[in-house]
Copies of this chain bind each other. A is one copy, B any other.
């Protein structure tokens, strides 16, 4: 797809055709940082200027100013003012810079300080990953426990993502009876929508308008993770299993979620791997045949980040030349050094967003290297399999004046906490962004991380009466789910975004 240069306001930025040849300095986007705030109040403008100058001189003088502002943000007047302004800034056209934002240069020079365009893209994909939690039926008394509460075509509308510029093309299911007993949700009952499967994510694709803005047709895979970090850590078998044809190995339990299938199930006659690869191939082929630039962006939080890496590995094997990047949040380590190296060699770009206080990305048992006898000794120096490509965005709870600082293992692991900190991240040396606009209330959806002064209830993301409604006889009952939202393999198969095609001859990496 050809980007429409005429509408680009920032012609001085590296163009799409100049990918991998960006200037080494990042002054250009700092100018932009100032420029984009033209409509702000003078005070903010001045601060942004000071901030920009400070960054150029490495003085970080904005920190103090910013902290003061942040403190004043906590008074109710300012909070109420915020409530009357949009929760998102207007979107810029990033088509000239998309390859760099997609990781073609390993996010060099745009990560710290964080380029505002990259920041917004990280949040965008993070919200796709968050959608896999928000729409998930966690109710173990529901006959649809483990499914998505809405059908594919309604999902984004229901979650307020209707302006994301993407449409969901496919839901992905994974076996729930795998070797990580506590990973997946299971209904307490036998007469459920599926005895064997969980909704584990979706494939989406950018629409024409968004594709125009981001410079290519973007296929997204969002993988669902887990909410509670503690339960599965103990359940890890810590057993390496080969992947591909080389020395690459990954943790057995992770791989089994991705590759398990069973011919007697309703949703997993194909594995998650086969489902996602079929859909991605269909979309990539379809748009490439139309002459468009196509990218694959894979995102996920926690376990979702792990599945995203396995997905990226398989996609890279199958689609050489396709720009593939993984944007993971709070992911544990997954494989050995050979796996890391092979991903790197295949050109898969991985941006790991981590949080200093979150234990999951630091989980030592999940780093494997068969050449080392005792991996425990290694966790200090080996860090993460991708550390050497320099693509960790490390957040810090202490940077936000809106977050409680006390130990909160659940809150530190929550994706919404991450997204809040990304929104406020300017650089590793500076305080929280003054003009961060993302709705603070989102942080407390499923945890208790916001300071009390904000008056946002903790764990507020909930259905009225947990979905019970009063019927005509005065009884509280769980209503039947809207038929169009009841998972059905037939509906899933028929409701393709593109023409209904079947055979893509994918190379099966996982037998």
- Contact residues of A with B, CB < 8 Å? 82-88, 139, 141, 160, 188-189, 439, 441-442, 452, 455-457, 459-468, 470-471, 473-478
List the 9 closest A-B pairs by CB distance, nearest first.
Answer: A464-B464, A87-B474, A441-B476, A460-B466, A457-B466, A141-B455, A439-B475, A86-B473, A87-B475
> B455, A189: Cβ atoms under 8 Å?
yes
- Residues on B with C-beta less than 8 A from A87 are 473-475
A231 CB to nearest B CB, Å: 19
Known: A439-B476, A460-B465, A460-B466. A471 touches B83 (CB 8 A): yes
> B470, A462: Cβ atoms under 8 Å?
no
Q: Complex formed: what's the CA distance from A467 to B452 in Å?
A: 16
- Residues on B with C-beta less than 8 A from A465 are 460-462
- Residues on B with C-beta less than 8 A from A442 are 476
| Residue on B nearest A187 in the bound complex, by CB | B455
- Residues on B with C-beta less than 8 A from A141 are 452, 455-457
A50 CB to nearest B CB, Å: 28
Q: Complex formed: what's the CA distance from A184 to B459 in Å?
A: 23
Pick from A160, A188, A470, A473 the residue with the most CB of B within 10 Å. A473
| Residue on B nearest A454 in the bound complex, by CB | B141
> B467, A464: Cβ atoms under 8 Å?
no
| Residue on B nearest A191 in the bound complex, by CB | B76
Residue of B189, B452, B464, B477 touching A83 (CB-CB under 8 A) = B477
A465 CB to nearest B CB, Å: 5
Q: Complex formed: what's the CA distance from A232 to B281 in Å?
A: 63
- Residues on B with C-beta less than 8 A from A476 are 439, 441-442, 456, 460
- Residues on B with C-beta less than 8 A from A86 are 473-474
> A88, B441: Cβ atoms under 8 Å?
no
- Residues on B with C-beta less than 8 A from A478 are 455
> B455, A462: Cβ atoms under 8 Å?
no
Q: Complex formed: what's the CA distance from A461 to B466 in Å?
A: 7
A157 CB to nearest B CB, Å: 13
> A452, B188: Cβ atoms under 8 Å?
yes
Q: Complex formed: what's the CA distance from A459 to B459 in Å?
A: 14
Q: Complex formed: what's the CA distance from A487 to B202 in Å?
A: 48
- Residues on B with C-beta less than 8 A from A466 are 457, 459-460, 462
- Residues on B with C-beta less than 8 A from A439 are 474-476
- Residues on B with C-beta less than 8 A from A82 are 475
> B457, A467: Cβ atoms under 8 Å?
yes
Pick from A86, A456, A477 the residue with the most CB of B within 10 Å. A477
A76 CB to nearest B CB, Å: 8
Q: Complex formed: what's the CA distance from A467 to B462 in Å?
A: 10
Q: Complex formed: what's the CA distance from A494 to B50 in Å?
A: 58
Known: A141-B452, A452-B141, A452-B188. A468 touches B475 (CB 8 A): no
- Residues on B with C-beta less than 8 A from A463 are 462, 464
Q: Complex formed: what's the CA distance from A474 to B85 in Å?
A: 8
- Residues on B with C-beta less than 8 A from A160 are 470, 474
A45 CB to nearest B CB, Å: 22
Residue of B452, B461, B468 touching A457 (CB-CB under 8 A) = B468
| Residue on B nearest A82 in the bound complex, by CB | B475
- Residues on B with C-beta less than 8 A from A467 are 457
Q: Complex formed: what's the CA distance from A160 to B471 in Å?
A: 12
> B189, A441: Cβ atoms under 8 Å?
no
Residue of B84, B457, B475, B477 touching A473 (CB-CB under 8 A) = B84
A161 CB to nearest B CB, Å: 11
Question: Given known contacts A160-B474, A188-B452, what 18 new A-B pairs fall within 8 Å (CB)?
Answer: A83-B477, A85-B473, A86-B473, A87-B474, A88-B474, A141-B452, A160-B470, A439-B475, A441-B475, A441-B477, A455-B478, A456-B468, A460-B465, A460-B466, A462-B462, A462-B463, A462-B466, A463-B464
Q: Complex formed: what's the CA distance from A439 to B473 in Å?
A: 10
A503 CB to nearest B CB, Å: 42
Q: Complex formed: what's the CA distance from A441 to B441 in Å?
A: 31
- Residues on B with C-beta less than 8 A from A477 are 83, 441
Known: A141-B452, A452-B188, A462-B462. A83 touches B457 (CB 8 A): no
- Residues on B with C-beta less than 8 A from A473 are 83-87
> B468, A460: Cβ atoms under 8 Å?
yes
